[in-house]
Amino acid sequence: MRKRKSFKKRDLLGWLVMLPTLLLFAFYVWEPLLENVRLSMFSAVRYELQEFVAFDNYIKVINNPDFIAAFKNTFSYTLWSLVIGFLVPIALGILISETVRFKGLFRVGIYFPNIVPGLATVWIWSFFFNPGKTGVLNIILSKFGIDPQLWLTNPHWTIPLIIITLTWKSAGATALIYMANISSISPDLYEAATIDGAGIRQRIRHITLPSVFSLAKTLLLLQIISVFQILYEPMVMTNGGPNNASISLMMLMYRYAFRDFDFPSGAALSVMICIVLIILSGIYTVATRKKED
């Protein structure tokens, strides 16, 4: 703590330096969060608010049959991303940590998808998942004598395949974080384990994995928070189909606000999503604070 003193010129100057940016945060982040709550309780014609309707918009949104589908799907996205998206970066990080030659190439290679714009990624992968004979994955499968698959048009596969696309894009960047963590493990630990007769597999299980565990917990929560907001991937790849099999809550919000221009309903759905996210980030804050103690 600095010396206790009253509010001085220096403090005022400090706040003045920070003010422009804080105003931007207020405009883009803080005010809209509150504004959403207000919007969601009114009826509106385009941007003009009409009258106070309390929770009518919320009831309307929840009673929309698409809402149940979107709600279920959003959890399905999150679950699949835990199965696929969570483990792949850990595996990548461990594998590349065990190489010496070409390590630089591997680092750059796995990070490359992260540099490809998200929109370009979803366009490319929608062509990969083309169900016809000329879809890229079907071409590759045919080389192994496997029949063409339906890919995204099979409603059971839609969500996992979209998650695979997401994982392709983000796993490398996450793997780099794990690699930094793994390379900071003290060599003494491995050497002591070797003296105790531990083989390589046991060393990975008892030394490498436990030490990435606390980092993994943090990244897991961040991943849940980000996948919960999945929006443009299904929008471009499947438009929510087939038959609502991949529509997400954020996508439903987008449809309300920017396709039907029903801003209050879009805001109501935003508020509901936000409450879930605030709870999740509350858990995140508690979890990370414990780690620091």
DSSP 124-188: HHHHHT--STTSHHHHHHHHTTPPPP-GGGSTTTHHHHHHHHHHHHHHHHHHHHHHHHHHTS-HH
- The nearest distance, CB 247 to another protein, in angstroms, is 15
Asked if 174 and 227 count as a contact pair (C-beta separation under 8 A), the reply is: no
- CA–CA separation, 62 and 140 (whole Å): 43
User: Which of 101, 156 has the CB closer to another protein?
Assistant: 101
Query: Which residues, at least 6 apart from 235, have a Cβ–Cβ distance to it below 8 Å?
Result: 251, 254
Joined together, the tokens standing for residue 145 give 């004598």
- CA–CA separation, 213 and 24 (whole Å): 37
- The nearest distance, CB 245 to another protein, in angstroms, is 18
- The nearest distance, CB 100 to another protein, in angstroms, is 4
- CA–CA separation, 222 and 227 (whole Å): 9
- The nearest distance, CB 63 to another protein, in angstroms, is 20
